[in-house]
Each structure stands twice: as C-alpha cells, then as structure tokens.
Amino acid sequence: TTAIQLSKAFGATVYTTAGTSEKCEFCENLGADVSINYREQDFSEEIKRLTEGKGVNVILDMVGGPYFPKNIRLLADEGRLVQIALMQGSKAEVDFRSLLLKSVTLTGSTLRPRSVEEKTKIKPIPQDPISPLGKKLFEIKYVEFEKPNYQLRKNYTYQRAIKTIVI
C-alpha cells in the first residue's frame, strides 16, 4: 500500500495485481492506475497490452518462485526487480540472457530477520512526498494478533497488521 502511494506521489503509472475484486478496488482507491485480478486475467498479457509491449520500469514482488521469470519478461530495458518476499518459493529457473540483454537490476531485501535495533535505524519516509495525494493521515494503530503464517508452514508467528484511517 505504501509503494502504491509513494509511486503515485512521484508521478509513476502504477499497475497492481490482486486475487479478488475487493483487493483490486482497494489498490485503485489508494491510487493504482490499473489493478489486475490475476485469478480472472493473465497479468503478463495485460501488462504487455497496457505498456504497448514496452514493459514496466520497476516491479515490487512478494511472490517469487514461478513469478520470477514472468517478472523478468515484463521489465522494460534497464528495469528493476525488487524481491521482498517469497510466498510461492525461493527457487526459479532463470534465463540469464534476458537479464543481461535488458540490463536488469535485481534487488532482494526483507526486514523480518533483522534485529529491532537495525529496523529502528531505517529512516522514516518524510511526509512531504505523500502530500500530493491530498489525503491526511489521522490515525495509525498497530494491531498484533496470533495467526499461523501459512507461508512459513510450521513456524507460527505473530503477524502485525497496520490499520490506517485516511481521509
């Protein structure tokens, strides 16, 4: 959600994917130009159509695994793939020629294994870039609840939900 808002604040065209109409609508309400329901449409074909075959400059991916080769194909020349999670696995078959020919930049990062001290050193994003959205943030609540994280299989963790009220 932050990526959508920041991207729009900096003038980007934002395409998102989600698995339900409700989630797609939510993304569009946050500022996404187009949100594609991947259960109803082939997002690869739709992105190719929307970009007239040029591809996108940046992909922020949480899926990993089978999406990795698709993401590389969808990147424009000198595009960047930022991998922040691996919900469908950490392994993929990759044709490195496409990475080289497109001059792709790959970045991987996650905050989960970092200590609280490391996380607190990360500088907060200034509010100024968000102001063009014309919304004011009135309340942020961190709600912790116990729920199994099925992506981690047997490793039951506390998940943190961030509830924001925006007007």
Q: What is the mean pLDDT of residues 88-93?
A: 92
Reading the block at residue 117, the tokens are: 């001290």
Cα separation, 5 vs 139, in Å, equals: 17
In this predicted structure, what is the pLDDT of residue 110? 83
Cα separation, 158 vs 63, in Å, equals: 20
Cα separation, 60 vs 54, in Å, equals: 17
Can you count the helices (H) and strands (E) in the chain?
A: 6, 7
What is the pLDDT confidence band of residue 26, given thresholds at 50, 70 and 90?
Answer: very high
The Cα angle at residue 161 between residues 160 and 162, in degrees rounded to 5: 120
In this predicted structure, what is the pLDDT of residue 52? 96
What three-state secondary structure class fits 3?
Answer: helix
Side-chain half-sphere of 97: how many Cα atoms within 13 Å? Answer: 1
In this predicted structure, what is the pLDDT of residue 152? 40
Q: pLDDT digit string (tens) for 114-164? A: 887 887 777 665 555 444 444 544 333 344 444 444 444 333 333 333 333
Least confident piece of the model among 15-29, 44-58, 119-133: 119-133
